[in-house]
């Protein structure tokens, strides 16, 4: 099974294997609300609906990281802002 995800311009990107999709999520490219579609499927779904987050991520899901530059909400483990690409503060670090 291969998957595509929708980039910031709502264009499908891929195909990627499930393993690659997980890597993209770990790299912060994809997050739980990223739109993902399985090959042969007609319906886009949130990333988390197709790839349940590991327990560790689920525990962090309630603590989103907000970009200090544009205010966009990013997943807690994101390193760069989904909205503007600014490097996000890690832990208690303040930019
Ligand atoms: Zn931002």
CATH number of the domain to which 17 belongs: 3.30.1490.40
Whether 57 is covered by a domain: the verdict is: no
Tell me what the mean pLDDT of segment 14-39 comes to. 94
The verdict on 68 and 86 lying in the same domain is yes
pLDDT in tens, 19-28: 999 999 999 9
Q: Domain count for the chain, please give it.
A: 2
Q: Is the pLDDT of residue 75 over 90?
A: no
Count CB neighbours of 11 within 10 A: 9
Whether 22 is covered by a domain: the verdict is: yes
Q: Is the pLDDT of residue 94 over 50?
A: no
Note residues around ion ligand 1 (Cβ under 5 angstroms). Answer: 67, 69-70, 72, 81, 83-84, 86
pLDDT at 16: 97
- Kindly give the distance from the C-alpha atom of residue 1 to the centroid of ligand 1, in angstroms, as a whole number: 33
The verdict on 92 and 68 lying in the same domain is yes
- Kindly give the distance from the C-alpha atom of residue 76 to the centroid of ligand 1, in angstroms, as a whole number: 14
The verdict on 8 and 47 lying in the same domain is yes
Distance CA 28, CA 19 (A): 14
Q: Is the pLDDT of residue 31 over 80?
A: yes
- Kindly give the distance from the C-alpha atom of residue 42 to the centroid of ligand 1, in angstroms, as a whole number: 31
Tell me what the mean pLDDT of segment 58-65 comes to. 63
Residue from 14, 11, 82, 6 nearest 44 by CA: 6
Tell me how far the alpha carbon of residue 17 is from its chain's centroid: 16
Q: What is the pTM of this model?
A: 0.55
- Kindly give the distance from the C-alpha atom of residue 70 to the centroid of ligand 1, in angstroms, as a whole number: 4
């Amino acid at each position: 099974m291969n998957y595509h995800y929708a980039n910031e311009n709502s264009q499908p990107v891929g195909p990627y294997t499930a393993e690659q999709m997980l890597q993209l999520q770990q790299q912060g490219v994809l997050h739980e609300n990223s739109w993902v579609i399985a090959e042969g499927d007609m319906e886009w779904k949130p990333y988390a609906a197709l790839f349940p987050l590991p327990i560790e991520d689920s525990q962090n899901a309630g603590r989103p990281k907000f970009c200090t530059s544009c205010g966009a909400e990013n997943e807690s483990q994101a390193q760069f802002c989904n909205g503007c690409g600014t490097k996000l503060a890690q832990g208690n670090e303040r930019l």
